[in-house]
Amino acid sequence: MLKLLFIADPLETFKAYKDSTLAMMNAAHSAGHRVFHANANTLCSKNHEIHAFCQEISVDKKQNPWFVVIHQQLHNLQDFDGVIMRQDPPFSVEFLANTWLLSQAERLGVRVFNSPSALRDHSEKISILEFPEYITPTIVSRSVEQIKDFHALNQDIVIKPLDGMGGMGVFRVGPDGLNIGSIVETLGEYGKRSLMAQKYLPAIKDGDKRLLLINGQAVPYVLARIPQAGDIRGNLAAGGKGVAQALSPKETEIAQKLGPILMQRGLFIVGLDIIGESLTEINVTSPTGFVEITEQTGFDVAKFWLEQMEQSIQDQ
């Protein structure tokens, strides 16, 4: 029996019908492990050791409410066999501070998934630049003129902030270039913030596909998040429809290339975003899609995650 701590947003905010962190908790509890939760804002240092205010919970996702608190107290993170970092984006200064605290916990022997140093090093947007063979034409810049030049070259582009989530702040600029200056100035706060611009991929009509890597291995189904009428964003938070599909040959190729590399860096759970045959993002903070894939295909993603987690902890 393992003691597993999930560092996440408040339990009351979970959307129980589709929350991936809840799916993980439920799988762990059903397997007989002890499940603990801590709000991300309770991490602290005490006598050079890292603590959090934790509550042990029993979990039953079929019930309402889906959790019952058994007890709660301040815990040293060394009390746990594994700490699962599932704090939602955006990657703020407070998120960064939590990764620093978790790095200290790692130095004291705590197993943290995903590794805090890997979370710091992997911008969910910029990290795709490491794999140019798999991405659409892309630039990152604060300059209106550079982004206008990129548009002139590619004609149809998407512009987005580096710290957005759920499709927030994503704009398409078509061949007419209408409002590009205003979009860049507004999103970039007149040159204060870097933006990413990518060539528009018409394959978005078939979905922005989420491919989950767990311990370097691909879940055998992607979740194609298909934009609905009047929108270019497939994100479920932006109204996209999630449809599970078997991996394509290209998606399998990308997973086989990136999986071992990211695993070696301490990224235990990764969500690759793929449009057509192009990698568009590498999500590492709290990748989702567990529930939708499980319900539509019968492949139990949370059970697969737990088996890999148990093996990883056993092998340490």
Residue 277 is a catalytic residue: no
Residue 172 is a catalytic residue: no
Residue 281 is a catalytic residue: yes
Residue 192 is a catalytic residue: no
Residue written as token pair 């620093």? 100
- From residue 131, alpha-carbon distances to 87, 222, 269, 294 in Å are 26, 20, 18, 29
Q: Cβ distance 40 to 84 under 8 Å?
A: no
Using only C-alpha atoms, what is the Rg of the chain? 20
**Active-site entry in 154, 215, 235, 283:** 283
**Active-site entry in 233, 251, 292, 303:** 233
Residue written as token pair 């319900």? 295
Residue type, 180: I
**Active-site entry in 225, 251, 292, 303:** 225
**Active-site entry in 61, 160, 209, 303:** 160
Residue 160 is a catalytic residue: yes
Nearest one of 113, 232, 95 to 163, comparing CA atoms? 95
Instruction: Please give the backbone phi and psi of residue 262, each rounded to the nearest 5 degrees, phi first.
Output: -70, -35
**Active-site entry in 61, 86, 199, 210:** 210
Residue 106 is a catalytic residue: no
Residue 125 is a catalytic residue: yes
Residue 225 is a catalytic residue: yes
DSSP state of 68: E
**Active-site entry in 61, 86, 111, 125:** 125
**Active-site entry in 19, 81, 124, 281:** 281
Active site amino acids: 125, 160, 210, 225, 233, 273, 281, 283
